[in-house]
Structure 1
Amino acid sequence: MREKYADPPQLKTSVVLTGTAKEGKAGPPVGLVDIGVSEVAYLFRVALPGVRKDHSGGVRCEIQQDGKVCIRGVITDGGGLKGSSSVYQMQVHQLCPPGPFTVSFNLPGPVDPRLFSPIFRPDGILEVIAMKYRIPAV
């Protein structure tokens, strides 16, 4: 028996940025989103340059049943060069400034918020597979 999954007819995604993600005007942008769709799941990738996986507070990804995704985290300043006690005055500011941020967007349809698999890749991309909401068979 083939199961049915909720899938809306079209994909229109708007992404909302807050905090330092909104302030970054140059350099690698925070919050660029790619979304893929399969018969049973959604795959999304979010660019998070400057975010460290091991940073206290980390990256949090929350997904609601209606498909709303909210990603929160902190962009760090990098902490300077290891082993250096020098203080640098930055003359060029092209990277996103350090501080907290949120990235919010909607997936094309409802999901089961218990069934998602996030991976924070070493290249600063958060990759998540979220299973579509399954319509119960009658």
Structure 2
Amino acid sequence: MRWLLRNFVDDVPGVHSVAVVSSDGVLLLSSQDAPPPHALDAAPAPGPAESRLDLAAVVSGLASLTIGAAALMDGGKVKHTTVAMAEGVLFVTSISDGSLLGVHAAADCDMSVIAYHMALFVGRAGHVLTPALRGELRHAMERVR
């Protein structure tokens, strides 16, 4: 599944990073490389490991906030969330099993192209992201940290 994420970043103009987060907020997959094992013993420094976890935390928090807002407004299920910032855009959508797909992109990205590729990813990954695979991914991510 990691190659799907890397292809997403490599093939879609403007995409900086992509993360798949479990329904309970645990990072399952990231397009950014995991830190080398020897780096885990060193003092933490800003870099890919922190930005991977930051994106996962933001995706999870934003999804929780929008689900709460939708419930308060009787809006039904949240389909997707987009946050447009001066220097970037964050997209969050749910995968069929309750996991989340988060995409961080450049401010000048083509939002419709990214939304299209997110839908393709969810279509490809949704049926593959079984409970057994989620368990394996969660275990692997905990070993990396």
Judging by fraction of residues, say which structure has more helix: 2
Same fold (TM over 0.5): no
Judging by fraction of residues, say which structure has more strand: 1
Q: What TM-score, normalized by structure 2, do the two folds share?
A: 0.25
Higher RCO (CA < 8 A, seq sep 6+): 1
